[in-house]
Amino acid sequence: MDNGQFRFSKNVNKLAEELEIDKDIALTIKQGMQEQNRRVSAGELKTAPDLSVTVVGEESNTIVYEEAGDFALFSHVHTGGVTKQVNYWWGWFTYLNHRATTDLIWAMNFSAITTGMLSPLFGPTAPLALIAAGLTQLGALALDYYSNGCGVRIRFTASVPTGMWSQC
């Protein structure tokens, strides 16, 4: 890290091979780092020693919330956990309080049921619609399992959800 900017010295293809990830994901990581570096150079972002990223000043419709040294965008404090996003160079954590988690579970269940009921209308792609409905339902079950009335914390790496924990 140099002046709050990250150096990406590896070739995308070599990085993808070493990490055993898809080349598109490695490219997404590189592009995200380049955009973050651009914003650091422009004075829009500041990188902390723990590699979290803070917004310099407040932007319109953005509430900057500080908790234990971490900064988050679009933060709102509620009982049953917090709802915020904490950004890092490699991705971000999304925190959803109990209410937001419950609302998301309801929306996912509704979507899964609707897709499943309408799948016969999709013709030859009906099996794909049923698979999508099933995966959506599994996601809702995972959210419900981890929430425990406290909300969840979800880790995203290069826009891919890679972990989920309870906020309890």
Rounded CA-CA distance 66/75 in Å is 9
Phi and psi at 158, nearest 5°, equal 50, 45
**pTM of the predicted model as reported, rounded to 2 decimal places:** 0.52
Model confidence over 76-117: pLDDT tens digits?
A: 443 467 888 888 888 889 999 888 888 889 888 888 888 888
Rounded CA-CA distance 72/69 in Å is 10
Token pair, residue 133, equals 């409905």
C-alpha torsion angle, residues 64, 73, 2, 14 (rounded to 10): 170
Provide long-range contacts, Cβ within 8 A and 24+ apart, for 43-47: 45/4, 46/4, 47/1, 47/4, 47/5, 47/6, 47/89
Look at residue 83 in the predicted model and tell me its pLDDT.
85
% pLDDT > 90, the chain = 10
